[in-house]
A and B are shown apart, each in its own frame.
Chain A
């Protein structure tokens, strides 16, 4: 158990229903996965499958209904400076300058550092994300992409054991997203940071991740598959789509999201799927491999179930 850096066991979340109604179905249940040190893990799934909730549980911002998460052998209980979070909405404090925002985080981690030391430390991380010129600006003077960079610098600056990214590029335009992805990739490769990231962007996941957790649709969402990205770690956005593995992986992911992600709920799913040990697949290495769930896609689901799922 303690061999993995991060271990999640049987995580389940039920949101309380409104006044007096009977309980809502769990958003997700039976979530088991692990992350090793230095690994970059992306989680992909449709809206409503509880990705953000899982991330919030790992961040300590939310309580799971059942199940446990362990990091570095210790149970995750409440927020901690060991885990840096980059929020989707950048969450910068608008009354502080860029430097002030990062310094606020650094001062929280090392309260007895001198002012100069903090400034130097923050500047280093802000330069790393290409913001050396704008450290004294207010967040409102920055573009969306620059704000998100500050958020990333803030998370990296406290040198957490693990980084949690909640769809950090979701609100950015495609070009900006590309450049920040490149930067994130460079920083992560240089620092060997352990990262857990939510994304909706399949290409982003392939570019950045070592493995991708595919989640089935909620409610009763589970981890359906773990896709290992078998391409070499030195990837660049410019060259990655020339890798022969790239489209194999991409097709596998898109197939999952479009066709298979809804077929994991209900009793019949349990016959072929073991949530405790979701199948690990390496689509990049297997040429023309038949999809894992051909069986179910070919035998049509009962009409009623279909109606529910659509």
Chain B
């Protein structure tokens, strides 16, 4: 098992090196002296140093971006120039807020829907219609009614996180084993105690699966939402660097988004493991 793990790590590392190598080879500056000489004047006219290549950035350049940003993640030099940690913190703050609000709504509502077949049927059409709507489609409405771009971002996260949680909670609650409910009934357990000590733990694995999916979607959506509303956040950072034509920074941001997304998923994976029971 241990050696399997090592082997896998080795192969991962090898693949990564091959990828970097191929990338490096593909972005080597072309050695055509005559062309370079002819263009030098043009390049100078365009306000660029001759040594700067206009093509796709080579890995070394991206590496430099990694080093610069990671060596000072917390600086703040005005609205368009903040450290990566600050940008990520803004995004995480919005995701956390929207997600938390979604939990507050989705858990009780999902409980109610799961407990009552009537409510399930009554609310089903709304859920089915609203669920497939891209969360960004809410943005104009949110901007118009909430009149604040940051709050609108939170709202978009809220609206996209709510569906998987709601549906999974309702499903988990509705499919709690009859036997356990019967035990609670024969013991005359009061409704609140039953909800917290029987139904919630029984449905917890399903509910956490929903939360994990929601968090994944929220992290996907926040980038797009921040590109739209601007101001702060990792999505805005990506857009800003695109406008600066600083592709190394964009690649750096993409990696950061991936890493943070993975960490979030790991946290929820852990939580899921915590509430999962073996029968």
Contact = CB atoms under 8 A, between A and B. Distances in A.
Q: Are A and B physically bound partners?
A: yes
Interface of A: 59-61, 79-81, 83-85, 87, 89, 91, 93-96, 104-105, 108-109, 138-140, 158
B201 A95 contact: yes
A96 B201 CA distance: 9
Contacts of B179: 87, 89, 91
B187 A108 contact: yes
Nearest to A90: B179
A85 B182 contact: yes
Interface in B188-211: 188-189, 193, 197-198, 201-202, 204
B10 interface: no
Nearest to A84: B186
Nearest to A151: B183
Given A61-B182, A89-B179, A104-B197, A95 B187 contact: no
B188 A108 contact: yes
B202 A93 contact: yes
Contacts of B177: 91
Contacts of B180: 91, 93
Contacts of A84: 186
A85 B179 CA distance: 11
A59 B202 CA distance: 23
Given A87-B183, A89-B179, A94 B188 contact: no
B188 A93 contact: no
Contacts of A80: 186, 188
B278 A138 contact: yes
Given A87-B179, A104-B197, A94 B186 contact: no
A114 B166 CA distance: 37
Nearest to B178: A91
A215 B157 CA distance: 61
6 contacts: A79-B188, A85-B182, A93-B180, A93-B202, A96-B201, A140-B277
A146 to B, nearest CB: 14
Contacts of B189: 108
A138 B177 CA distance: 18
Contact of A79 (B186, B198, B204): B186
Given A80-B188, A81-B188, A91 B279 contact: no
Interface in B145-196: 177, 179-180, 182-183, 185-189, 193
Given A85-B182, A87-B182, A95-B202, A105 B279 contact: no
A80 B183 CA distance: 11
Given A93-B180, A95-B201, A85 B279 contact: no
B202 A61 contact: no
A194 to B, nearest CB: 16
Nearest to A88: B179
Contacts of A95: 201-202, 204, 275, 277
Given A94-B279, A104-B197, A140-B278, A85 B186 contact: yes
Contacts of A105: 183, 187
Contact of A93 (B185, B201, B275, B278): B201
Contacts of B183: 85, 87, 91, 93, 105
Nearest 6 A-B pairs (CB), nearest first?
A91-B179, A108-B187, A140-B278, A95-B277, A94-B277, A79-B185
B188 to A, nearest CB: 5
A276 B183 CA distance: 32
Nearest to B179: A91
A61 B278 contact: no
A83 B186 CA distance: 7
B211 to A, nearest CB: 18
A84 B180 CA distance: 14
A199 to B, nearest CB: 19
A138 B193 CA distance: 21
A61 B179 CA distance: 11
A79 B183 CA distance: 10
Contacts of B277: 94-95, 138, 140
Nearest to A83: B186
Contact of B187 (A87, A89, A109, A139): A109
A299 to B, nearest CB: 45
Given A61-B186, A89-B179, A91-B177, 13 more contacts: A59-B186, A60-B185, A61-B182, A79-B186, A80-B188, A85-B183, A94-B277, A95-B277, A96-B201, A104-B187, A104-B197, A108-B193, A158-B187
Contacts of A79: 185-188
Contact of A94 (B185, B187, B193, B278): B278
Nearest to B177: A91
B239 to A, nearest CB: 46
Nearest to B278: A140
A61 B187 contact: no
Contacts of B187: 79, 81, 104-105, 108-109, 158
Q: B180, B204, B275 — which one has the most chain A CB atoms within 10 A of its CB?
A: B180
Interface in B94-111: none
A109 B190 CA distance: 11
Contacts of A96: 201
A60 B182 CA distance: 10
A221 to B, nearest CB: 23
Interface string B251-279: 00000000000000000000000010111
Contacts of B182: 59, 61, 85, 87, 91
